[in-house]
């Protein structure tokens, strides 16, 4: 019994839909805005090799392949980081943003700049914590690579499990 993920570009939300049968054709409307037909998203755990699902990635505001490569590289580099050196943590974050196209909010950019200069992360958080908590820390360009209002926030995830076939007796 599969669970499918769908993305609403208008709401910037990933939704989960349960189906009692395999269904690679159905594309439901967005549960939130009710107008947008959702695009199917490949679940990260379901990706094997270079397999791609037809029609599922075009609306996502990031390149999932680049994201997977970046996360893999960062995981291996993070094992060797000196957690007492804020410069190394800042450099790792810069690599992530460079590899994925993710941009940082102004508060996060300032925090990283200060960490790169060797300032104490606790002091930076004490001074910038309120600013950073009020902004989106990670911004994504739209799918054409242009900024939209300073960047697009990373998609949120609706944890509700919706029924892919609510009208049928196949539930």
DSSP for 77-115 reads HHTT--TT-HHHHHHHHHHHHHHH--EE-HHHHHHHHHH
Q: Within 10 A of 9 (CB to CB), how many other CB atoms are there?
A: 18
Tell whether the model's pLDDT for residue 115 goes beyond 70.
yes
Element (H, E) at 39: strand 39-41
Please state, for a pLDDT cut of 90, what percent of the chain lies above it.
6
Does residue 131 share a domain with residue 72?
yes
Domain contains 55: yes
Q: What pLDDT score does 32 carry?
A: 93
**Structural domain contains residue 171:** no
Q: What SS3 state is found at 154? A: coil
- Same domain as 69, residue 56: no
The residue range of the domain holding 114 is 64-140
| Residue 169, pLDDT above cutoff 60 | no
Indicate if 24 and 55 belong to the same structural domain.
yes
Query: Could you tell me if 34 and 81 lie in one domain?
Result: no
Instruction: Specify whether 78 is located in the same domain as 131.
Output: yes
- Token output for 45: 């755990």
Q: How confident is the model at residue 54 (pLDDT cuts 50, 70, 90)?
A: very low
- Position 72 in a domain: yes
Regarding predicted confidence, which is higher, 9 or 52? 9
pLDDT at position 107 over 70: yes
**CB–CB of 65/103 below 8 Å?**
no
Query: Residue 145: what pLDDT?
Result: 42
For the chain, the domain total comes to: 2
Local structure of 144: helix, strand or coil: coil
Q: Measure the CA–CA gap between 34 and 84, rounded to whole angstroms.
A: 48
131 pLDDT exceeds 60? yes
Instruction: Return the pLDDT at 152.
Output: 65
pLDDT of residue 55: 43
Establish if 146 belongs to a structural domain: no
């Amino acid at each position: 019994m599969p669970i499918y993920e769908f993305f609403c570009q208008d709401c910037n939300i990933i939704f989960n839909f349960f189906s009692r049968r395999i269904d690679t054709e159905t594309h439901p409307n967005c549960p939130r805005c009710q107008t947008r037909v959702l695009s199917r998203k490949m679940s990260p755990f379901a990706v094997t090799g270079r397999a791609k699902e037809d029609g599922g990635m075009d609306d996502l505001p990031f390149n999932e392949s680049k994201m997977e490569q970046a996360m893999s590289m960062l995981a291996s580099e993070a094992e060797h980081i000196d957690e007492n050196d804020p410069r190394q943590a800042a450099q790792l974050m810069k690599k992530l943003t460079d590899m994925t196209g993710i941009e940082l909010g102004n508060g996060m950019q300032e925090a990283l700049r200060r960490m790169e200069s060797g300032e104490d992360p606790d002091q930076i958080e004490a001074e910038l914590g309120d600013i950073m908590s009020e902004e989106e820390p990670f911004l994504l360009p739209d799918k054409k690579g242009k900024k939209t209002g300073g960047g697009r926030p990373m998609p949120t995830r609706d944890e509700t499990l919706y029924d892919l076939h609510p009208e049928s007796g196949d539930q």
